[in-house]
Amino acid sequence: MDSILIQLLNGLDKGAAYALIALGLTLVFGTLGVVNFAHGALFLMGAFCAVTFQKILTISKKVLDPSITYFDAYIEQPYLELWFGETGLAVIDWAVPLSIIVTIPTMLLIGLAMERGLIRHFYKRTHAEQILVTFGLAIVLQEIIRHFFGANPIPTPAPDIVSGSAAIGTWIGLGENFVYPWWRLIYLASATVIISSVFAFLHLTTFGMVVRAGMFDRQMVAFLGINVQRKFTIIFGLAAVVAGVAGAMYAPIVPPDYHMGMDFLVISFVIVVVGGMGSVRGAVAAGFLLGILQSLASMTVVSSLLPGIDQIIIYLVAVIILLTRPRGLMGRKGIGE
């Protein structure tokens, strides 16, 4: 029982990451009608915002290491530590959460620049061409990251205070085996907050109403004299911010490397398509669904019954859903066909 519950929680946690990435992707598709293969790269850029921020905080002075006698080795001491002592160290410790403050405006700028500079010229092109040009862009972005940060993953730990795990089991009386890392819980909680705010934004504000109307019938809204285009540009910026924050917060879970965008691209596309192209709700639902299924399939019991199932479950479910529900869970007719 415990083991199923903890696996469910793990699934929610994975699902949160999937849903966050898929959210922006499907939003952009629903509003702008653009299939953005560079969305994974936005996730990557977000993670590297955190990395860059951490690197800036830990700019160090090189001090000769006295313990090594064979040759000149250096110890790196961050200037923050030299100048502010304990306070400086504490700031470095909190690098990832603090980096979110920088990530949001940076990603907004990147998003707007991308939309104005490239994506906008591809509204009228075919989906295949959109896929291809954004795929090219994704390669360029990841190679730029590689040029500056190298090919190796860069450790970006969470603050010390949340690096352990929460004894959830003891709190709710399920035994001490039920523990879960704090940072992953924080990730899950923030994802819920972000997803809810995007929903609130779309459903409770006038801006959101126009966007939703635009998603439904873009021409009609334009006839009403509303500048849909401007609103859609902002939506692209929003999608970039969501992907970026998702990436920055993911950095303590898996140390980021230049290839993480591509690793998540495939899965996020599968999620968007399973949810139904352009459906925000569908993407969130599919993200959590596939996260949970993937986690459950990795249980020893399951994988001993069906060997290899943990490796293919996501794709298998995707195939089944697409065959039984031609437009995914919540897709509409005529989109992306």
Partner 1 sequence: MMNSIKQQLMNLFKKQSDLTTILLFAAGVLTMPIWLDPIGANYPDLLQKFVIFGIFAVGYNILFGLTGYLSFGHAVFLGVGSYTAVWSFKLFTMNVLPAMLFATLISGLIAAAIGFVSMRRSGIYFSILTLAFAQMFYNLAYSVLIPITNGETGLQLRMHDIRIIDNYFSDPAPGLPSTELFGMSMNGYSGFYFCAVVLILAFYVAMKIFRSPFGMKLKAIKSNQHRMRYTGSDTRPYLITAFIISGMFAGLAGALLAVTDPLAGAERMQWTASGEVILMTILGGVGTLFGPLLGVGIIKYLENIFSTINESVLQQFFSFLPQWGENFMVAIVSPFVGDGWHLTLGILFMIIIIFLPGGLMEGFQKIKKRYLTKGVKDSESTTKQE
Partner 2 sequence: MSEKYDITRRQFAKAGLAVAAMPMFYTKGVWAANDFTNNPGSSSTVTLGFNVPQTGAYADEGADELRAFKLAVKHLNGQGDSGLMNTMKPMNLKGNGILGKKVTYVTGDTQTKSDAARASAKRMIEKDGVVMFSGGSSSGVAIAVQGLAQELGVIFMAGLTHSNDTTGKDKRRYGFRHFFNAKMSGSALGPVLKDEMGTDRKAYHLTADYTWGWTQEQSIQETTEGLGWSTTAKVRTPVGAGDFSQFITPVLNSGADVLILNHYGKDMINSLTQAVQFGLRDKQVNGKNFEIIVPLYSRLMAQGAGKNLQGILGTANWDWQLEDEGSKAFVKSFGTEYGFPPSMAAQTCYVQTLLYANACENAGTFYPPEVIRQLEGFEFDGMGNGPTEYRAEDHQCFKKVLVVRGKANPSSQYDLLDIVKEVPRSEVEYDASIFGGELGPYKV
Span from 32-40, 43-51, 135-143, 157-165 in contact with partner 2 (CB under 8 A): 157-165
Residue 137 touching partner 1 (CB under 8 A): yes
* CA 165 from centroid of its chain's CA atoms: 22
Residue 228 touching partner 2 (CB under 8 A): no
Residues forming beta bridges with residue 166, ordered by sequence position: 180
Span from 93-101, 203-211, 225-233, 297-305 in contact with partner 2 (CB under 8 A): 297-305
On whether the CB atoms of residues 107 and 43 are closer than 8 A, the answer is no
- From partner 1, partner 2, none, which one binds at residue 186 (CB under 5 to 8 Å depending on kind)? none
Task: With H, G, I as helix, E, B as strand and everything else as coil, classify residue 332.
Answer: coil
Q: How far is the CB of 56 from partner 2 (least distance, A)?
A: 20
The CA-CA-CA angle for residues 70, 73, 77, to 5°, reads 155
String marking each residue 203-242 x if it binds partner 1 according to CB under 8 A: ----------------------------------------
- From partner 1, partner 2, none, which one binds at residue 183 (CB under 5 to 8 Å depending on kind)? partner 2
Task: With H, G, I as helix, E, B as strand and everything else as coil, classify residue 63.
Answer: strand
What is the rounded CA–CA span in Å between residue 119 and residue 133?
Answer: 9
What is the rounded CA–CA span in Å between residue 46 and residue 230?
Answer: 24
Span from 49-57, 70-78, 224-232, 321-329 in contact with partner 2 (CB under 8 A): 70-78
Among 131, 168, 179, 226, binds partner 1 (CB under 8 A): 131
Residue 113 touching partner 1 (CB under 8 A): no
Q: How far is the CB of 254 from partner 2 (least distance, A)?
A: 5
Among 184, 245, 283, 317, binds partner 2 (CB under 8 A): 184
Q: Residues 6 or more apart from 171 whose CB is under 8 A from it?
A: none
Q: Within a 13 Å sphere around the CA of 196, how many CA atoms are in the beta-carbon half?
A: 6
